[in-house]
Amino acid sequence: MFNDEVIPLVKTLDIKEARAIYGPDLPSPEEMLEEPVLIRREGKPYAIAISLDDYRRFQEWREKTEREAQIQAQNAAWEKERAAFYRLKPQLLQTQKGLYVAVHGGQVVDADADERSLAIRFFEKHGQVPVYIGLVSEQPPIIEMGGPELTHCAAL
Amino acid sequence: MPHYDLELQPPAPFTEVSITNFATGQSVYLPGKVDTGAGITVIPERVVRDLVLPKAGEMLCQSYDGARIWHPVHYVDLDVAGYHLPYTKVVSTARTYVLLGRDVLNQFILTLDGKALVFDLRDP
């Protein structure tokens, strides 16, 4: 519940009309920057005024939280496609060995010897939806990563 | 603009890279190190979070010391030195800049002049 008890605010501002916020009781901008101000209308919590810096921080936090939720949902959907690939793999090794396959909705929806062609075709047809694109092979291919980079040099 | 980064010792060739989520159109710009030792292009994990890039596969990668690690695969639109490369497969790792691997570099004519510390990347 949204009330004074659970929101430990120091300042409050009671208004009855919109113009009241322009009245002499309004905390100064300097005071508004110090801490959130609870605005009450007819004695009930109505809104909270916070500084622009606090609002920007809140926006950043909210965007970050939304992005993390989106990524979690994406990962969960992708894990299902990945699991489907490995479930189907034994039979794919019999029929599509050496090909790249696109698994979407728990089934193979396309295959190609060229991975890039397959990816372009898939995304242009389906858009950015959950998919597992993988090579049907007994052993996964191993790709080289970059070499080491010096992070600092000690003077001799 | 292709240039050698003299902050690294020895200096390394870098060029600006734009990474775009093709579904949302959101992009980030980062320096990309030309790395002919890498078999695939690598982007920072932070970019995956910022652009909300979904996984689309996984890849077993071997580092210079023989260590093998599975990394998530993503498909992004890359712009490298003014050239547009749609639906490019990349892997993500904890790093701050992009590694441009041979998968991307082999689409260009790459001329490295280490003595003069200049290089050129052109689309044939």
Q: Residue B38: its chain A contacts at CB < 8 A?
A: 144-146
Assign A20 to helix, strand or coil.
Answer: helix
> Tell me, what amino acid is at A35?
E
Residue A154, pLDDT > 90, answer no
Of A143, A149, A152, A153, which to mutate for an interface test with B (greatest number of B Cβ within 10 Å)? Answer: A143
Give a yes or no: residue A103 inside a domain.
yes
CA nearest to A123, candidates B18, B75, B83, B91: B75
Identify the pLDDT of residue A34: 74
d(CA A58, CA A75): 25
Give mean pLDDT, residues A5-21.
56
Is residue A100 in some structural domain? yes
Q: Residue B87: list chain A partners with CB under 8 A.
A: 116, 119-120, 123
Within a domain: residue A43? no
The pLDDT of residue A2: 46
Assess if residue A99 is contained within a domain: yes
Is the per-residue pLDDT at A4 higher than 60? Answer: no
Diameter of chain B measured on Cα atoms:
42
Contact across the interface for A143 and B63, Cβ inside 8 Å: no
Average pLDDT, chain A: 83
Q: Is there a contact between A123 and B89 if contact means CB atoms under 8 Å apart?
A: no
Q: Is the Cβ–Cβ distance between B89 and B104 less than 8 Å? A: no
**A80: domain range?**
76-135
Q: What is the pLDDT of residue A50?
A: 84
| pLDDT, average across residues A88-114 | 97
Partnered with residue A111 across adjacent β-strands are: A101
> Which chain A residues contact residue B65 at CB under 8 A?
148
**Which of B36, B40, B53, B59 to mutate to probe the A interface, most A CBs <10 Å?**
B59
Mean per-residue pLDDT, A93-104? 97
| CA nearest to B53 within chain A | A71
- In this structure, the strands spanning B98-100 and B27-34 are parallel
Distance from CA of B94 to the nearest CA of A (A): 13
Alpha-carbon distance of A64 to A14, in angstroms, equals: 33
Q: Which residues in B49-80 are b (16+ Cβ under 10 Å) and which e?
A: ebbbbbbbbbbebeeeeeeeeebbbbbbbbbb
Over range A33-40, report the average pLDDT.
Answer: 79
**pLDDT tens figures, A47-94:** 888 888 888 999 999 999 999 999 999 999 999 999 999 999 999 999
Q: Does position A5 have pLDDT exceeding 70, yes or no?
A: no
Identify the contact set of chain A against chain B, taking CB-CB distances under 8 A: 67-68, 70-71, 74-75, 77-78, 82, 115-116, 119-120, 123, 127-128, 130-134, 140-150, 153
Nearest one of B31, B22, B21, B7 to B81, comparing CA atoms? B31
Q: How confident is the model at residue A38 (pLDDT cuts 50, 70, 90)?
A: confident
Answer yes or no: are the C-beta atoms of B35 and B80 closer than 8 Å. Answer: no
Looking at the DSSP bridge assignments, the partners of residue B93 are: B44
* In contact, A100 and A151? CB cutoff 8 Å: no
Task: Provide the number of structural domains found in chain A.
Answer: 1
Report pLDDT for B14: 96
Judge whether A128 lies within some domain. Answer: yes
Query: Would you call the peptide bond into A148 cis, given omega within 30 degrees of 0 as the criterion?
Result: no
> So what's the pLDDT on residue B100?
96
- Per the domain annotation, does A114 fall within a domain? yes
The reply to whether residue A150 touches residue B8, judged by beta carbons under 8 angstroms, is yes
Q: pLDDT confidence of A1, banded at 50, 70, 90?
A: very low
The reported pLDDT for the residue numbered A156 is 47
pLDDT at residue A17 is higher than 70: no
- Classify residue A27 by its DSSP letter: P
Instruction: Give pLDDT, residue A59.
Output: 93
- A27 assigned to some structural domain: no
Amino acid (one-letter) located at A95:
T
Closest-CA residue of B relative to A115 is B89
Q: What string of pLDDT tens digits covers the 124 residues of chain B?
A: 789 999 898 999 999 999 999 999 999 999 999 999 999 999 999 999 999 999 999 999 998 889 999 999 999 999 998 899 999 999 999 999 999 999 999 999 999 999 999 999 998 7
Residue A46 lies in a domain: no
H-helix or E-strand spanning residue A112: strand A107-112
Tell me what pLDDT residue A75 has: 95
Lowest-confidence pick of A48-52, A142-146, A147-151? A147-151
Interatomic CA distance for residues B103 and A93, integer angstroms? 26
Q: What is the ipTM of this complex?
A: 0.90
Q: How far apart are the first and last CA of chain B?
A: 18
* Helix and strand totals (H; E) in chain B: 2, 10
Q: Are B91 and B39 spatial neighbours (Cβ–Cβ below 8 Å)?
A: no
**What is the C-alpha separation between A112 and A96, in angstroms, rounded?**
9
Strands B83-93, B68-80: pairing is antiparallel
Whether residues A142 and B55 touch (CB distance < 8 A) is answered with no
